Chains A and B, each alone.
Chain A
Amino acid sequence: MSRADKRNITLYGGLGSEGVHWTIATLTISLLPQLSSMTLALAVITVLPVAWRLLAQARKWRPIPLLLRVLATAVAVTVLVLTYGGLVGRRTAVTLLVLMLSMKLLETFRSRDARIVTCLSLFLCATQFLFAQGIAMIFYMIACLLSALIALTYLQRWEAFRPLGKTPGTGRGMFAEFGSSARLLALAVPIGVAMFLLFPRWGSPLWGVPEDALDSRSGLSDTMSPGSIQKLFMDDSPAFRVQFKGTMPRHSELYWRGPVFWNFDGEEWTTSYLSRNLLAMRKPDPQNAAYRYTMQIEPTEQRGLFALDYPALLPSHTHLTMDYQLLANRPLTQLRSITVASDPNFTDSPKIKQTLLRAALELPEGYNPRTAAMMARWRAEAQSDTAIVKRALAYFNRENFHYTLNPPLLSRDTVDEFLFDTRKGFCEHYASAFTVMMRMAGIPARVVTGYQGGWYNDLGGYLLVRQSDAHAWSEVWVRGAGWTRIDPTAAVAPQRIEESALDLLTQRRHLLDFSWMRNARNTFDLLQRGWNDWVIAFNHDRQSRLFTGLGWGIFDANKLAAAMIAVICMVAAAVFLLMPLIARIRAARKQDAVLRLWQTFSAKLRKAGARAVPSMAPKELAAAAGSQLKHQAEEIDRIAELYSLCRYSPQRGDQSELKAMIRRFHPRPATQHH
């Protein structure tokens, strides 16, 4: 063999198809979730090397030159930088990893490279949990794991045989390989779970957690314009889950307070500088808090939390703004659990500062003249502020206003057009229009956004609030009563507040939007909640609470580690001792199975009138039966012979064949043939 030939074997014929295919499978599975979040250009760049490597394996292509590989990688990185505008951020880093792994395939012609690709695919799999940790991700994890195990097994096979110039056989075959990998995984689950529960967690991170944990901000934004809440209405993902301790408010009282808007520019509502920077001066007395509840809030990458009016007992690392919005000190990058107490009867600002009063009355110049004219008329006719508020609500109720998902587009004078022309809108249209009307009438008003209602899960005893429950309402400041919640949507469509926005709809939002499906999904949310509780939100606190709750006293890291090692040793010992035992039992049962088959056969013969006594040796029995069932003597002989083989040299006898033969065997009395 010449040197070039040798080189060719180590390089081009250097990896078996099984190894390459499973390596590529592992990489492909692990990059799937990432692929779905990439731009088309990047996705294509990722997929191309994979396709090339598959073709190269099939057609026995040589690797492309180093220069081209470097060039391809440079192009990929350039596109990445152009797409993300740099190399900072988690998504960018993971995309870089994906691209590098994909490019690595171009030079994966040895088992070492393939192993690196397989291992880094597992790493990639782990990074995906930074972005999504839903219950479905467990299947993704299992798929990656199994595929990687199979790939590594084939690669090991190849690495052992190939340097000796031998072509390795396929070993056990793909199904057996899959089975043994699955068994390995199944065996690992008990210890894996024990480690999961007992491995000491850190109370605080070692290095900083970046704030851009998620791809895009979901949930309510910190501005409101027509259509912003409507967008959320299409989103069925959970916003938070609430479990009440003791009494729960009526459905129509469930206003989850979010961003409060003071400034209006004619189209968009924004928060005010004061609202963002001033803390609440007065807080409700926790003694009066009627509702206590624990919320499990999905990460939003924003600081806003959503509490019922008005938060009396604040969770740690949160603060209350001057307009009583609960804010976390850091953006929510992961699932967070908080306990809040609320007092619904608290009076928000019985007295108000002039600056705030001015802010709550300010309107842009030269917008909505028709509304302004109407409000001036109302003002002149009304005795009090309350009368104007009532009149406005009655106006919405009596005139031909519609609550709809598909409101017509509005142009410059949004409130005018809405009130006098289109009269079709969503909660944000009503809240916006109402607030503008109040300000025009000289009543301080502001817009509050958040969520309204929720779906009560009877099975789990908790309230599930989805993004589609997003809502907007108004607050007016009334002397003596302070800021008072007014929900103009309730005047138009009371069911929205009593039930849910979704139940109001006559048309479906998308093809599969049936109410039974929504209910089923809401019920199944129980699983996701348990998953969140036990897997995703399992942290240092929960861990210590778990073991304290079990009555094992306070568990510090040392004790946990000791417990973990003890449990692992016990489980490992059990598995190590049990596995040979199980193997022996299975071998014995295999023997028994052969015996049982033989007994079935003997019984069949006896039924046909042949002499078949258990004490007879197989040959003896065959001879005796054969003499009575002459026309089947040959078949009986063959069965007896195969039985002897299965019984006395199990490696050579095919048990399934014996089973089939005995099943096929139907003794026919000899008389039929005469």
Chain B
Amino acid sequence: MSGQQSVTAPLPALRRLLPQKNIFEDWIKQRVRRKRAPTRLPFELRYKNVYVLPTEFGLGFGLMLVFMALGGLNFNNNMALLLVFLLATIAQFTTFVAYRNLAGLRIEDVQAAPVFCGQDAQFKVFLSNQTDQRRFILQAGFGKTQVCTDLALAECAVIRLNHATSRRGWLDMPSFRLETRFPLGLFKAWTWVFPGSRCLVYPAPARNAPPLPRTGQGPSGQARKGDGDQVHGLRKYQLGDSLQRIAWRASARHNELYSLEMETPSEEACELNWSALQGLDIETRLSVLTAWVIAADQKQMSYSLVLPGRSVPPGNGPEQRAQCLELLALFES
């Protein structure tokens, strides 16, 4: 949004003189943090936690009204004064409208699915409007606005707020801002919500991880479908299937893409062991292990994870994967 900045910065020279951030807003944000952290959900917006301040446009509008009033007073022009007074009163009322547009809104829940480090954590905020009024132009984001929505009567909405991740472990959701400049954009009513939710960030999987260690032990005699060396049969093409695996002849016959399903004679199970990666630093080791967990899970192998002090017994499936990745994410040496 490079164009965006030039829109809000009409006088760069003048702006440099002004404080870069709104001190009021910072003050309020800190106050919210200190007093009510974390917010208990569900959270209903009330007069205590909705703040209203003029926007830049609102300040400009106010300045124009001052000039108009000065002119009107000087020329004793009562019609012009009447216009100014009406405009000022309307502007004043919009603070109330903006406040009412937020007040009564409920934040039911905030959830976030685990992500790998480097991906954006996505916090889903469940908003509900159980009142008898419609809500307009609700904006939300961590600092910068990411989402904008209207809410009809008795409507629930999920807004998704993205936050970059830079390290594994728990990512505490920073306080986010729910704001409206409805109706005229002269005032913004906003609140900072700090729900105390968190998102689990797995280590980023290593790019060029060494192949899975095949230890060959394990009881499983069942063949695993997926990657492998032997053709097992045909199945419908799925996104992600390698082009080399497409059964072109069969596909042509049926007018639909089919891919060859390969089979690994997988009586083997693998053990993903911390100590197998001697000589690497901790984070790299965790990255490689993460990549291995993903690979093993894709191959539907049975695998176990052994970390210093902690281990996950052999198994497979989504639970196994989640358990292993969580262990890796929260690993502390």
| Interface positions of A (Cβ within 8 A of B) | 6-7, 10, 110-112, 115, 119-120, 122-123, 125-127, 129-130, 133, 137-138, 141, 145, 149, 152-153, 155-157, 159-161, 163-164, 166, 168-169, 171-172, 180, 184-185, 187-189, 191-193, 195-196, 199, 201-202, 205-207, 209, 334, 535-540, 572, 575-576, 579, 583, 587, 649-651
Residues of A within 8 A of B152 (CB): 651
Asked if B13 is an interface residue, CB under 8 A from chain A, the answer is no
Determine the distance from Cα of A172 to Cα of B97 in the docked complex, in whole angstroms.
15
**Chain B residue with Cβ nearest A129:** B79
Q: Are A160 and B139 in contact (CB under 8 A)?
A: yes
CB distance from B31 to the nearest CB of A (A): 24
Residues of A within 8 A of B92 (CB): 191, 572
Q: Are A163 and B145 in contact (CB under 8 A)?
A: yes
Asked if B41 is an interface residue, CB under 8 A from chain A, the answer is no
**Chain A residue with Cβ nearest B7:** A112
Q: Are B93 and A184 in contact (CB under 8 A)?
A: yes
Q: Are B93 and A119 in contact (CB under 8 A)?
A: no
Q: Are B84 and A126 in contact (CB under 8 A)?
A: yes
Q: Other than the known A169-B150, A192-B89, what 11 A-B pairs have Cβ atoms closer than 8 Å?
A: A6-B3, A126-B83, A156-B185, A164-B146, A188-B89, A188-B93, A189-B86, A192-B85, A201-B76, A579-B96, A650-B132
Partner of B185, one of A110, A115, A145, A163: A115
Q: Are A141 and B139 in contact (CB under 8 A)?
A: no
Interface string of B58-89 (1 = CB under 8 A from A): 00110010011011111111111111111111
Tell which of B109-117, B176-184, B219-227 binds the partner.
Answer: B176-184
Q: Are B77 and A202 in contact (CB under 8 A)?
A: no
Residues of B within 8 A of A169 (CB): 150
Determine the distance from Cα of A125 to Cα of B84 in the docked complex, in whole angstroms.
11
Determine the distance from Cα of A137 to Cα of B83 in the docked complex, in whole angstroms.
11
Determine the distance from Cα of A153 to Cα of B185 in the docked complex, in whole angstroms.
7
Q: Are A195 and B137 in contact (CB under 8 A)?
A: no
Determine the distance from Cα of A651 to Cα of B129 in the docked complex, in whole angstroms.
12
Known interface pairs A195-B88, A536-B78; A122-B185 also in contact (CB < 8 Å): no
Asked if B133 is an interface residue, CB under 8 A from chain A, the answer is yes
Determine the distance from Cα of A428 to Cα of B29 in the docked complex, in whole angstroms.
80
Known interface pairs A137-B79, A535-B78; A123-B68 also in contact (CB < 8 Å): yes
Residues of B within 8 A of A115 (CB): 57, 185
Q: Are B61 and A119 in contact (CB under 8 A)?
A: yes
Known interface pairs A7-B3, A130-B75, A172-B134; A123-B64 also in contact (CB < 8 Å): yes
Q: Are A535 and B74 in contact (CB under 8 A)?
A: no
Determine the distance from Cα of A334 to Cα of B61 in the docked complex, in whole angstroms.
28
Determine the distance from Cα of A156 to Cα of B83 in the docked complex, in whole angstroms.
22
Asked if B147 is an interface residue, CB under 8 A from chain A, the answer is yes
Partner of A141, one of B67, B79, B145: B79
Residues of B within 8 A of A111 (CB): 7
Asked if B153 is an interface residue, CB under 8 A from chain A, the answer is yes
Asked if B10 is an interface residue, CB under 8 A from chain A, the answer is yes
Known interface pairs A164-B147, A171-B150, A191-B89; A155-B185 also in contact (CB < 8 Å): yes
**Chain A residue with Cβ nearest B76:** A539
Q: Are B77 and A129 in contact (CB under 8 A)?
A: yes
CB distance from A67 to the nearest CB of B (A): 20
Q: Are A160 and B86 in contact (CB under 8 A)?
A: no
Known interface pairs A112-B7, A160-B137; A535-B79 also in contact (CB < 8 Å): yes
**Chain A residue with Cβ nearest B1:** A163
Determine the distance from Cα of A587 to Cα of B81 in the docked complex, in whole angstroms.
37
Residues of A within 8 A of B139 (CB): 160
Q: Are B61 and A145 in contact (CB under 8 A)?
A: no
Q: Which of A126, A127, A130, A202 has the most chain B CB within a 10 Å cutoff?
A: A126
CB distance from B201 to the nearest CB of A (A): 25
Known interface pairs A115-B185, A160-B139, A169-B150; A185-B86 also in contact (CB < 8 Å): yes
**Chain A residue with Cβ nearest B155:** A651
Residues of A within 8 A of B86 (CB): 141, 145, 185, 188-189, 192
**Chain B residue with Cβ nearest A7:** B3
Residues of A within 8 A of B264 (CB): none
Q: Are B185 and A130 in contact (CB under 8 A)?
A: no
Can you offer 20 A-B residue contacts whose CB atoms are under 8 A?
A6-B3, A119-B61, A126-B79, A130-B75, A138-B79, A149-B184, A152-B186, A153-B183, A155-B185, A157-B137, A159-B181, A160-B137, A164-B148, A180-B183, A192-B82, A207-B74, A209-B74, A535-B82, A536-B78, A576-B96
For chain B, the count of residues having a C-beta within 8 Å of the partner chain is: 58
Determine the distance from Cα of A180 to Cα of B93 in the docked complex, in whole angstroms.
12
Q: Are A583 and B148 in contact (CB under 8 A)?
A: no
Determine the distance from Cα of A196 to Cα of B84 in the docked complex, in whole angstroms.
9
A-B residue pairs, 3 tightest by C-beta: A156-B185, A129-B79, A188-B89
Residues of B within 8 A of A539 (CB): 76
Q: Are A153 and B82 in contact (CB under 8 A)?
A: no
Partner of B83, one of A129, A184, A651: A129
Determine the distance from Cα of A115 to Cα of B57 in the docked complex, in whole angstroms.
9
Determine the distance from Cα of A587 to Cα of B146 in the docked complex, in whole angstroms.
34
Residues of B within 8 A of A576 (CB): 96
Asked if B136 is an interface residue, CB under 8 A from chain A, the answer is yes
Partner of A133, one of B3, B60, B78: B78
Partner of A164, one of B82, B85, B145, B153: B145
Residues of A within 8 A of B330 (CB): none
Determine the distance from Cα of A122 to Cα of B153 in the docked complex, in whole angstroms.
34
Q: Are A199 and B81 in contact (CB under 8 A)?
A: yes
Residues of A within 8 A of B186 (CB): 152
CB distance from A105 to the nearest CB of B (A): 18
Known interface pairs A180-B183, A184-B93; A126-B71 also in contact (CB < 8 Å): yes
Residues of B within 8 A of A651 (CB): 152-154
Determine the distance from Cα of A138 to Cα of B83 in the docked complex, in whole angstroms.
9
Residues of A within 8 A of B67 (CB): 123
Known interface pairs A115-B185, A126-B68; A195-B85 also in contact (CB < 8 Å): yes
Residues of A within 8 A of B64 (CB): 119-120, 122-123
Residues of B within 8 A of A119 (CB): 60-61, 64
Asked if B128 is an interface residue, CB under 8 A from chain A, the answer is no
Q: Are B77 and A130 in contact (CB under 8 A)?
A: yes
Asked if B215 is an interface residue, CB under 8 A from chain A, the answer is no
Q: Are B93 and A160 in contact (CB under 8 A)?
A: no
Q: Are B136 and A172 in contact (CB under 8 A)?
A: yes
Known interface pairs A115-B57, A164-B148, A535-B78; A199-B137 also in contact (CB < 8 Å): no
Determine the distance from Cα of A364 to Cα of B10 in the docked complex, in whole angstroms.
69
Interface string of B141-166 (1 = CB under 8 A from A): 00001111010111000000000000
Asked if B94 is an interface residue, CB under 8 A from chain A, the answer is yes
Determine the distance from Cα of A549 to Cα of B145 in the docked complex, in whole angstroms.
56
**Chain B residue with Cβ nearest A333:** B75
Determine the distance from Cα of A649 to Cα of B7 in the docked complex, in whole angstroms.
44
Q: Are B185 and A159 in contact (CB under 8 A)?
A: yes
Q: Are B93 and A133 in contact (CB under 8 A)?
A: no
Q: Which of B67, B153, B183 has the most chain A CB within a 10 Å cutoff?
A: B183
Determine the distance from Cα of A196 to Cα of B82 in the docked complex, in whole angstroms.
6
Residues of B within 8 A of A540 (CB): 76
Residues of B within 8 A of A201 (CB): 73, 76
Asked if B22 is an interface residue, CB under 8 A from chain A, the answer is no
Residues of A within 8 A of B72 (CB): 126
CB distance from B170 to the nearest CB of A (A): 29
Determine the distance from Cα of A485 to Cα of B317 in the docked complex, in whole angstroms.
118
CB distance from B13 to the nearest CB of A (A): 18
**Chain A residue with Cβ nearest B180:** A160
Partner of B73, one of A122, A168, A180, A202: A202
Q: Which of B67, B75, B79 has the most chain A CB within a 10 Å cutoff?
A: B79
Asked if B90 is an interface residue, CB under 8 A from chain A, the answer is yes
Asked if B4 is an interface residue, CB under 8 A from chain A, the answer is yes
**Chain A residue with Cβ nearest B80:** A126
CB distance from A555 to the nearest CB of B (A): 17
**Chain B residue with Cβ nearest A334:** B76
Known interface pairs A156-B181, A651-B154; A184-B146 also in contact (CB < 8 Å): no
Residues of A within 8 A of B76 (CB): 201-202, 205, 334, 539-540
Known interface pairs A130-B75, A156-B185, A180-B183; A206-B70 also in contact (CB < 8 Å): yes
